[in-house]
Every structure is written in C-alpha cells, then in structure tokens.
Amino acid sequence: MLLVNQIRENFDAVLAGLQKRNFPDATAVLEQVIALDDQRKSSQTQRDQLQAESNSISKQIGVLMKNGKREEAEKVKSRTAELKTEIKALEDSTTQAEEDLKALLYTIPNIPHVSVPAGKSADDNEVVLENGVIPTLHEDKLPHWELIKKYDIIDFDLGVKITGAGFPVYKGKGARLQRALINFFLDEALKAGFVEVQPPILVNEDSGYGTGQLPDKEGQMYHATADNLYLIPTAEVPITNLYRDVILSEEELPVKNVGYTPCFRREAGSWGAHVRGLNRLHQFDKVEIVQITHPDKSYEALEEMSSYVQGLLQKLELPYRVLRLCGGDMGFTSALTYDMEVYSAAQERWLEVSSVSNFETYQSNRLKLRFRGEDRKTQLAHSLNGSALALPRIVAAILENNQDADGIRMPEVLHSYLGFDRI
C-alpha cells in the first residue's frame, strides 16, 4: 500500500508510475486520496479543538463548584453536553474518512522501479539474458502430457475422479520426482543461508490484505467460507505475514526464510492448449524464498535472489531466460519483477517457472513491518520473494527436454535424491 505522504510529496512521480502500469483514472484517484486525507485531518483537528475546549470547561466547572457557584456551574455544563455531541460527530467523520482512504489505497498498485520498461502485456517484457543450449529431440518426441501416460507417472483422470480438473495424482517415479525436487530446492536454500519454516496453508483475511492478495486477487483464491479462511496461492503469504506488526532490529536484517507448501489457485478463465497438462494447475507444489531487508540493500538482494534461482536452473540443466516485466505485466504489489522461463523443447515454447520480486515498502506498509535503526527510530523494511522453484513446469521441462527413444534421463543433480537416473 502506498503511503499518503509518498503521494503528496512525489505526486508527479507516482502519477507517472501508475501511467506506466496503465492504471485507469490515475490523476483522479490520487487527487481523491489527497482530498480524503485532508478531510480526515480537518475532522481530527476540529475534534481536538473541541476536546480541548471540553477539558477547559471541565476544569472551570470544578473551580466554580469549589467556590460554591453551583448555579453558574450548571449553566456551563450545558455547553459540555453540546460539545460531546459535536465531538462524537467529528470522531465518526474522521473514522469514515480513514476507512474510505484505506479502501481507496488498497485499489492502487505499487509504483514501478525506474528500470521497469513501459508496456501493456507480456509481449512488451524485456529479455535480460538467455542461458543454456536448447536440446534437439528425436523425431517421435512427445509433450509431457503424453509422456506421463506412456510411463504412468502422473494421472490427470484420477485427479478428476477425486477432485476435478487441475488436481493431478503423482504416482511411482512421478511422485518420487516431486519429492526429490522439493528436497533439492530446500537443501539448496539452506546452503544459501535461508532458514526453513513450515507455515499453515490456510490464512485469514488480515494475512491476505497484508501481502496484497486481497482485495486484488480475491476471485483467484479458494475461500473456506464457514471459517472465512483462504487457501494460500503461494507460501509468500504466510511466510511474509510471520512479520506482520513486528519491529525488527537493524542487526537482524536481512531476514531470509524458505518454505515448501502446496499452493492453490482457481485460475478462473484459464483455458486452451497453453494451459494443457502441467502448464497450469489448481493445486501444485512450490518452494518459496522470502527476504526482509534494509531499504538501502533490497535491490542488491533482488539481484542475488535472481542469480540464486538461475543457479538452480543451471544445476537442473535446463535452458532458461530472464525477463524484466513491463509495467502492464507486473504483479499488483511489485516494484520490479524478474521472470525466469525454461524452454520446453517438445512444446517449442518458453514456460514461466519463477518470479522474483521486490515490493519495496508496499507490503510492509500494509503489514506494519518495521525495523529500528541505531537512532532508535523505526522505519518500514523492504520485502522480497521468489519462486525457488514452482514444480509443475519444471517437471514438464525435465520430462520433455530429456526424453529419448528409450525413456527419460534425469538431471544428475537429482540422482541421489531419486534413487534412479532414468524413467
């Protein structure tokens, strides 16, 4: 959530950032923010003035009563009753302005970093680098949705029977590949200095608002209405919310956490060949990395996280590229996002497998996540997160890129986790 002072003091810059995101009616919305804040301040100032008058009258009444001037004191009391009514009305006006202001701020996305390119869609994203060699496959190459049937390692029909479309059942070596990748990703994160946590996979509304999934992505989340809880779309939500309403010391920064969870996304409106098989699921496994950093070091941390995720892809022997997302394709809460995509040689296209983002103070303002410096003053920390990694498209690329006429070769780095080297 943007700070009101940020909008007031940098109006033109904030407006330019929202325009880079193609945010509609940006000028009117920002002017409304300032008007609501002015209304809040005015009501609060009037309320404080009347409260001061009321306090003064109370003291006056005490003096009059002490001096035996009861009749005069009773006359003054009538004014205190009027003041109570006026103060209550101003308190209600202040509260309403605060609620309206907060609701409006929730609808405004983060401001893009200066390096974010302008653009409206994924077609306008900037390719930062490409790495690896795209494999040449044999003539009878198969996409992963045919390979999983051929080797009986993932069953979508059983998932439909048990739950519905988008909930696959992993079997035999398919299940072992899932477990191997999760353990590999977690072990690599521990080596890189991340502390493992195992968070809940259901969160409350406060957590959803804290990291920005609510109200922006409410329609994409599974909602357990009886208890008003949400199934997490990513471990970013519970892990970052560990630090909601927390004041860290500067010496504790950076905080580095990693966690594995299943993730749940309704993916309403998704259909077509590009989401076939493992390309888009309603339930999938993911290992997530989260950092809480000093504002001066968050972009250094972002580059480190990007390099770390690239290192995982290199160890898995997957050709990949890194994209800097344009203003129109960025997530609602992000200031700068790198997407990592692996190349699927059977599908002959790039598949997104990770997003690494810096949110600056956008989440921490919602979360009231602060740190205390040497001067004992508190300020908002910066939060970052990244997929390291999401499994479905990684599995798809491993199966497709490593297939030959006799089976599927497994990346060498996974052999010790799998207990086999081929499917």
Point out the annotated binding site: 234, 265-267, 288, 352-355, 385
Q: What's the number of CA atoms in the CB half-sphere (13 Å) around residue 275?
A: 11
Q: Which two tokens stand for residue 382?
A: 């910066």
Q: Is residue 114 classed as helix, strand or coil in its secondary structure?
A: coil
In order, the DSSP letters of 137-190 are PPTT---HHHHHHHTT-EEHHHHHHHT-TT--EE-THHHHHHHHHHHHHHHHHH
- The sign of the torsion formed by the CA atoms of 33, 35, 38, 43 equals negative
The answer to whether 289 touches 386, Cβ cutoff 8 Å, is: yes
Q: Hey, how many other C-beta atoms are within 10 angstroms of the C-beta on 82? A: 11
Would you put residue 269 in left (φ > 0), alpha (ψ -120 to 50) or beta?
Answer: left
Q: What is the DSSP letter of 264?
A: E
* Helix (H), strand (E) at residue 94: helix 70-106
Q: Hey, how many other C-beta atoms are within 10 angstroms of the C-beta on 98? A: 16
For tokens 């290992």, the residue is 287
Report the C-alpha gap between 1 and 333 in whole angstroms: 8
Q: Which two tokens stand for residue 292?
A: 């809480």
Give binding residues for L-serine as ranges. 234, 265, 288, 385
**Which residues, at least 6 apart from 257, have a Cβ–Cβ distance to it below 8 Å?**
194, 195, 196, 197, 239, 242, 289, 290, 291
Give binding residues for ATP as ranges. 265-267, 352-355
Q: Which two tokens stand for residue 38?
A: 């002015």
